[in-house]
Amino acid sequence: MKLCVQCHTHYLDEGDACPADGTDLVAVGDDPLLGKTIGDKYRILHVLGRGSMGIVYKAVQNSTGREMAIKFLLQPPNANDQGETIVKRFQREAKTLSSLKHPNIVTLFDFGFTNDNKPYLVTEFLYGLTLTQFLRQNGYLDPKKAMPIFEQVCDAVSEAHHHKVVHRDIKPDNIFLQGKDSGGRFIKVLDFGIAKLLDTRATTSLTMDGRVCGSPAYMSPEQCKAIDVDLRCDIYSLAVVIFETLTGRRPFDGDDAMSVMFAHVNELPPKLSAVRQGGDFSPKLEEVLLTALSKEPSRRQQSIQEFWEDFSSACQGKTRKHAAGWIPFSAPTSRLSSQANREIKAGLDWDLLHAGSRSKDSQAIYLHEFRRKQRIFFIRVGLCMMLGIATYLFFFGHEERKERTMIETADILTLHGSPETEIKVLERMKSERPLSGEDSERLNNAYVQSAIKSAKKRRFVDAVDMLHKVSPRSHYSEQANELIRRYKHH
């Protein structure tokens, strides 16, 4: 069996080029589903694509001749419990898709199970190309040209959010462009396969241990940390997609998935103008995307409608109108006014103490006035001190919280097999100040895990060098010495 990688059509082993487009054919293994009829209704034609959770085929409905897309679930080969969980997730996808009726969301026609219990979904077949393919051909889009695409995407995601559905995997591959440039593009949002249905009646978690849902390049920080997400994670992912569409590059890149996830959690995104110089990016547009890419969900736009209003207004050079009764925040000036300075000086007007020459009544009045102003003075001094302490705690405490977040994220990466990142974080901290006992042990553990990883790749010299970095006073010292003796024999 041979495959054309351009049109995804399968052919028998005869011929070396695709008859349709002349592309060289690639030899692939025989697919038992090709040519088969599913559910006595749909005849499989060829593979359209493969994902982490399933394979999509092009098919035709026997009764009507209508072209369809059929997605089959990929079952894990060695976990019955997980297999059952994935089947439940697949059924949830069918339920999710069937509850969403919107012109910009792919239509679900049917779902079921094959004779050998493989679950499948039947959706409409789309002609066109994904946003990924479009950007590969065109590089990038200017803001005003990108607006019609993302207006439809926002409409689709808003409809999903209305049904308490979080997509959780918004990326260019899941944004499909139909139609011609001259007639405009009609958009379909695809693949709610890992969507989370926020149904309060469904209390059982269907997330498998040790796995995170989403594509690392577009995942929100909360997804990278494998914590609970809500509708705002879609705003972050969509902002990443828009950033890539406007510049031709993603805001965060790395050598592997773990380094990209680490960047999502810890690094600030670059400006659009820094990535694509000469682009027509207004300060307001930069601000809108920077807000949407905030690490904390509470600092992003709080709904997809709010994000679209901000984005479209920025692209058109307008200011979004706020609701009636909205009061802009105005911070107090940092300098005291001259009037305030005069009042403070008056609070220490020692001439008031020279009241002996005055009458007893006027002396009492002056003393009362003096004490009142004195109280006001000390209250102001106390407030200034409290403000100074709060400012200190905010800036220096913020740095400490940032370091804690970086360490916690590095721990997660170590658990996922990337101890090198934790080593970089902790060694950088160690160069700036002494590590605490707990963080020193984290670093020693990361040295051991990195050595074990190198040994698995038969890089025993690197493994031994890494183990020599473990402190002799560490709890991991005995394990490190034992591994050194073992690795030196190789």
Cα separation, 158 vs 152, in Å, equals 10
Measured N-to-C along each axis, helices 437-456 and 419-432 cross at an angle, to the nearest 10 degrees, of: 140
Q: Is 100 left (phi over 0), alpha (psi -120 to 50) or beta?
A: beta
Matching residue, tokens 């609970």: 228
Q: How far apart are CA 147 and CA 152, in angstroms?
A: 9
As a whole number of angstroms, the distance between CA 306 and CA 235 comes to 10
Rounded Cα distance, 86 and 74, in Å? 9
Residue 98, CA atoms < 13 Å, CB-side half-sphere: 11
As given in the structure block, the two tokens for residue 486 are 């073992």
In sequence order, the β-bridge partners of residue 186 are: 178
Active-site position among 21, 24, 30, 169: 169
Contact between 80 and 86 (Cβ < 8 Å) = no
Give ∠ CA 292-293-294 in degrees, rounded to 5. 95
> Which tokens hold the place of 255?
């050598």
Q: 429 and 435 in contact (C-beta within 8 Å)?
A: yes
* DSSP-assigned letters across all residues of 214-260: S-GGG--HHHHTT----THHHHHHHHHHHHHHHHSS-S---SSHHHH
- Round to the nearest angstrom and report the end-to-end CA distance of the chain: 44
Tokens representing residue 204 in the block: 């059982």
**Coil vs helix vs strand at 46:** strand
**Close Cβ partners of 406 (under 8 Å, ≥ 6 residues apart):** 265, 266, 425
Look up 411 and say whether it is catalytic.
no
Q: Just list the catalytic residues.
A: 169
